[in-house]
Amino acid sequence: MGRSEVGAMTAAIARYPEVASPVERAHGLTAEGAARALERVGPNELAREQATPRLRLLLRQVSGVMTWLLIAACGIAAAVGEVSDAIAIAVILVVNALLGFIPVSVLETRKLVARALRARRRRQ
């Protein structure tokens, strides 16, 4: 748990006078109080997340047990000469991976755009 999370938890369970004591009601935090808070918990910023690589997003779509069973079934079908079954299973695997990957990829892109918009708004 980071220092800011510990501070937030402490504030969440503290009584109002304890939490409000460093704040002057008419003027907010004093310069000293703000400096102490900055030193104690750091700047008021969200943690930056790295974008998830597209290949990792795609690999997550084929990481389930059922997917691996279908891959094995595809290989077995091909090995015993059931090429049409192997092709059908392979097509199902590809369609399944794409149906899972595309929405996740779009969501990841939207997260990056939203993060950029938030950063731009903060600078203005």
For residue range 12-63, what is the model confidence (pLDDT) as tens digits?
A: 666 766 666 655 566 677 788 888 888 888 877 766 777 888 899 888 888 8
CB atoms within 10 A of CB 96: 16
Largest CA distance in the chain: 82
Domains in the chain: boundaries: 3-41, 54-123
Report whether pLDDT(120) > 60: yes
Q: Can you give the pLDDT at residue 36?
A: 87
- Interatomic CA distance for residues 35 and 4, integer angstroms: 15
Q: Where are the alpha helices (DSSP H) in the chain?
A: 3-13, 16-20, 31-41, 54-61, 65-79, 83-123
CB atoms within 10 A of CB 90: 16
